[in-house]
Every structure is written in C-alpha cells, then in structure tokens.
Amino acid sequence: MDIKKNKEEFIELLCSTGRNGVDDTIESLDEMGFFTAPASAGHHLNTEGGLVLHSLNTCRAALAVWEGMKILEPSIAGEVGRDSVIIASLLHDVCKADIYVRSVKKRKNAIGQWEDCEGYKISYKNFPMGHGEKSVILLLCSGLEMSDDEMLAIRWHMGAWGINMNSYEDQRCFDTSKKLYPLVSIIQAADNLAANIMERTGEELDEL
Ligand SMILES: [Fe+2]
Ligand SMILES: [Fe+2]
C-alpha cells in the first residue's frame, strides 16, 4: 500500500471541493493520526494507512453510485452535488482516526502453533462520542463548513447498524434523513461496496 500516494490523492480530492475549512480539517486529521490509522482492528484494511485507503475507496464507490443514479433518476443531479459526495464519503469515518492502538496479538500459524503478531486494539478513551456522530462533531470542531445533507449522510452512514433500535427518535430521524436527502443512501451504499467488494481479501473468504 502506498500511504504517501493515498494521502496525496485524499488531500487533492478534498481540496477540489473548494470548501471553507478544508485546510484546517486536513491539519486536524494529521494531528489525530488519520493518515496512518488502519480501517479496522481485525477486518478490512487492518494495516497502517488502511483508513485513508478505505475513505478513498468509499469516495470512488460513492462517485460511481452518484453517476449511475443520475442516469436512472436525473433529478439527483440537482439534489446532490459532486462536492457533497466527496466531502461525505472521504470524511465519514474520521471517528476512527484516534481509536486504534498498536498491540501484539496471538495467532495460530499454519501448523497450529501460537505465535505473536503485530496488530491493533481499540480504545475509545480519546473521545467516546459514538461513530457517525463523532465524525460530524470532529469535523465541525475542525472548522469545516458542511451542509445538512453532508452531516446527515456521515451521521447515518452505518444504516440500520448505527441505529439504537430501542429509540423511536433514532429510527424516525434515520428514515426522515434518507427520504429528504439522497446523499444519505449514496454514502451508506458506497461504504458497504467499499468494505465488502473493493476491500475483501482471500483470507476473509477462506474464513467463511
Ligand atoms: Fe463507519
Ligand atoms: Fe466506512
């Protein structure tokens, strides 16, 4: 994985939106460790630089979904702008930048013996604010200007997995966001396509 190249591409895409606050946001992401963090502790892209690659993959998938949906449903062109697709997809998982801590884990090798391997464990102690909602708050604190649909697409990008099913308010807000703003469904789909199609590995398939 070329971490430097991925970082440059991420910054170039984000800056292409011309959005107020982008420079300060990039500085905050650097300070948080966003550009070196993995995308997960034990699943997709669980290596250094995984988070920025996952964010780029989600952006590529989101732009492809957006282009495709404009053909199927031309009104989308007026409802969702390219800059919003880029902002929401690249920044949906900013919440993960500060939760992974390097650790040594045990795993069985090919002949069944336990051995040490480098890995990550998760700690939420820096800012235990949740997932999508944490991303939105971190971005606002870094000074990024965002529209309602961008904030809601980031907040609800986990779809039904990010909802407290005991909360009527959560369910209604999620449903309302999806109906009001097509960007919410585009980012949710793109995140799923990135993690489960673009980033799946042979190892993951073997474990099924
Ligand atoms: Fe996420
Ligand atoms: Fe994600």
Instruction: Enumerate the domain spans of the chain.
Output: 3-206
Give 189 Cα–ligand 1 centroid separation in angstroms. 12
- Positions of E strands within the chain: 100-108, 114-122
Give 191 Cα–ligand 2 centroid separation in angstroms. 5
Give the tokens for residue 110: 């090919």
Ligand minimally distant from the alpha carbon of residue 39 = 2
Q: What is the pLDDT of residue 206?
A: 83
Q: Classify the phi-psi angles of 100: left when phi > 0, otherwise alpha if psi is within -120 to 50, otherwise beta.
A: beta
Give 154 Cα–ligand 2 centroid separation in angstroms. 10
- What are the pLDDT digits (tens) for 131-151? 999 999 999 999 999 999 999
- What are the pLDDT digits (tens) for 83-108? 999 999 999 999 999 999 988 877 78
**Spatial distance between the Cα atoms of 122 and 101, rounded to a whole number of angstroms:** 6
pLDDT band at 82 (very low <50, low <70, confident <90, very high): very high
Contacts of 202 (CB under 8 A, 6+ apart): none
What's 103's DSSP letter?
E
Ligand minimally distant from the alpha carbon of residue 195 = 2
Nearest to 55 by CA among 189, 190, 149, 162: 190
Give 176 Cα–ligand 1 centroid separation in angstroms. 20
Q: Please, where are the H alpha helices in 73-196?
A: 76-79, 82-91, 132-141, 148-155, 168-180, 182-193
- What are the pLDDT digits (tens) for 29-45? 999 999 999 988 877 78
